[in-house]
Amino acid sequence: MLGTEIRWRIDPREYDLFVGMDVDKKQIANSVFDQGAFMKSVSMRNEPRALVSYIKNNYPGKRVAFAYEAGPTGYELHDEIEKAGYPCLVLPSSMIPTSPGMRVKTNRLDSRKIGISLRGGELRGIRVPTESYRQLRHLVSLRELYVKEDVRLKCRMKSLFLFEGMTFPEGDWSQKLLRALETLECKREIRFKLDQLLKTIRHIEEQIKETTREIQRFCREDEDLKRYEELLRSLPGIGHTISVYLMARLGDYRQMRSGEEIASFFGLVPRERSTGDVVRRGPITKSGDGRVRNKLIQCAWVAIQKDGELAEFYERIYQKNPKAIAAKKAIVAVARKICHRMASVLREERPYLIRTKVKEGTASTRTDSGNRRTREEILEVR
């Protein structure tokens, strides 16, 4: 299957030519280097097959390595190059070396910069998702778009009440609350705006349900995704929603190397600036997808209610830190531990079994008000 092989780096000793590419909507700027020096720059239309044909015709028999920066053009170029038998790295922009003194930026210069770094073995590519995970990402991102729009509209409605000095009905968002808003007496103009917002909210919520059903259907019909989701949902705290978000972001679980890699991918590892014998660790890196990181934090709150080992781990970390930051530190540590358990479950391809029940007096038996307070604290990890 395309993309199942992990290709993180290119060993320059194994190749004759190195092609750095800068890709935009219409063109691909290419810079070709050999082991000794720069050879040629060429621009061509953005057609991956044309690029592969050019390399085969002009450099027959050469071992060629390619690299380009990830962007809005997707992975078609990567797929076509790999299909032709050449290695291709897709690079995150944050990992491409730059010169602070450079004041000129063009596609040609960017392609040369990538080509030079590729020849030097300095580049580290991302894990390119296979086709099924790309399609899942489309569905998950669509659902997230609708969810954000739903939240935005509800906040706008509450702002309207605040601006007009009106009391918003009590209770969580539900069909009962929406019906109460539909029958609320107010000025005609306010009533019209309220009705339009309510109509849009109902439409958006129906879109969320429809997209969720499509995600469920897609996962059921793909055997890999179905098995993947079953393994993830065996972990305490992980349900359907977070499992599909994790699958979409992580991609093929057979490409994963360790739990620490997953934790790092979601920004749950501490920053570090150490030198010599001095070790300095700071707050978490917050790299990767913040929405999934927040969902993992929510998952951790549920997990300590169900898994005794995680509850004891939470309590141990909680007791080691000052009260002001204890809950935040502890729940992030639990989320990181869940990443390690996730890696073990996926690597061994067997469901997770909870071995210990929650004991009285642990973090999981704290009062509801205490849990709400610590959840508010943890929102700062966003």
Question: Measured on CA atoms in the order 289, 141, 227, 256, is the torsion positive or negative?
Answer: negative
27-34 vs 17-23, strand pairing mode: antiparallel
Closest among 30, 34, 40, 32 to 15, alpha carbons compared: 34
Residue 232 CB neighbour total at 10 angstroms: 23
Identify the three-state secondary structure at position 166: coil
Q: Given this model, what pLDDT does residue 272 score? A: 84
Q: Exposed, middle or buried, 31 (CB in 10 Å: 0-12/13-18/19+)?
A: buried
Token pair recorded at residue 360: 């009285």
CB 68 within 8 A of CB 90: yes
Closest among 196, 107, 201 to 151, alpha carbons compared: 201
Residue 188, amino acid: R
Beta strand extents in 4-98 (DSSP E only): 17-23, 27-34, 38-45, 64-69, 88-91
Residue 82, amino acid: E
pLDDT tens digits along 267-318 = 998 888 888 888 888 888 898 889 999 999 999 999 999 999 999 999 999 9
CA 265 from chain centre, in angstroms, equals 8
> What are the extents of the domains in the chain?
12-119, 131-221, 235-381
pLDDT tens digits along 332-360 = 999 999 999 999 999 999 999 887 767 66
Q: Given this model, what pLDDT does residue 362 score? A: 58
Residue 97 CB neighbour total at 10 angstroms: 11
Q: Given this model, what pLDDT does residue 3 score? A: 37
Residue 113 CB neighbour total at 10 angstroms: 20
Q: Given this model, what pLDDT does residue 135 score? A: 96
Q: Given this model, what pLDDT does residue 99 score? A: 79
Q: Exposed, middle or buried, 375 (CB in 10 Å: 0-12/13-18/19+)?
A: middle
CA 254 from chain centre, in angstroms, equals 17
270-272 vs 88-91, strand pairing mode: unpaired
Measure the CA–CA gap between 332 and 308, rounded to whole angstroms. 17
Q: Given this model, what pLDDT does residue 354 score? A: 82
CB 226 within 8 A of CB 220: yes
Measure the CA–CA gap between 266 and 102, rounded to whole angstroms. 31
Q: What superfamily would CATH give domain 12-119?
A: Ribonuclease H-like superfamily/Ribonuclease H (3.30.420.10)
Closest among 167, 60, 65, 42 to 120, alpha carbons compared: 65
Angle CA 242–247–253, to nearest 5? 135
What whole-number percentage of the chain has pLDDT above 90? 72
| Count of positions (residues) in the chain | 382
Can you list the residues of the chain whose pLDDT is less than 70?
Answer: 1-7, 357, 359-382
